[in-house]
Amino acid sequence: MGGAQSWSGLETSGLILVGVAIMGGGVATTAGGLKLLRVYALYKHGAREIERLVHPHSVAGAGRLGRRIRREGAFVAWIFFMLFLSSIAVVVLALTATGLPFEQALMLAIAALATCGPLASVAGTDPVIYLALGDATKMILCAAMIVGRMESLVFLAVLSPGFWRN
């Protein structure tokens, strides 16, 4: 374990856990995060763009479903990814305003938005103890957990005027 940590340059293996928590779980699960289908759509789109860099005039296969995942699916996944990152930034900013150090605020924000509470006590160099947090911090985390559980893309679609016109 110590050899692997010194080779990677990471003080803790928590960074890997943070990445897995951000990816989230399956589509029909209650797991938070990006969801695996969105990560897959972004991967397929990225792989196709790399292929187009090498062969600019190539035609992709995989039929109609493959094209749909690479186009519309990747577009929606990218929007959700940007919303998720924006949510992390807002929550980290709010948590640091309460006096938390940046690393703890980042771990707590990701744990709350990805609905993976134990991540905060495992991923950082120092475990975060929820009982030691102030009331304002806990309220921010409660709001972040609600935002993490709801599909923000669906919420924005309901609020958009184009949704109601069709």
Give me the residue spans of the domains in the chain.
11-165
Question: How long, in residues, is the chain?
Answer: 166
| Nearest residue to 153 via CA among 72, 40, 92, 44 | 72
Which tokens sit at 28? 């029909």
Which tokens sit at 128? 């975060």
Distance CA 12, CA 84 (A): 24
Q: What is the largest CA-CA distance in the chain?
A: 60
pLDDT at 141 over 90: yes
Q: Name the band, by pLDDT with cuts 50, 70 and 90, for residue 105.
A: very high
Higher per-residue confidence, 67 vs 143: 143
Give exposure, 134-148, as e/b (b: 16+ Cβ within 10 Å).
eeebeebbeebbebb
Residue 93's pLDDT is 97
Arithmetic mean of pLDDT over the chain: 81
Which tokens sit at 4? 């692997």
Residue 64's pLDDT is 67
Which tokens sit at 146? 């609600």
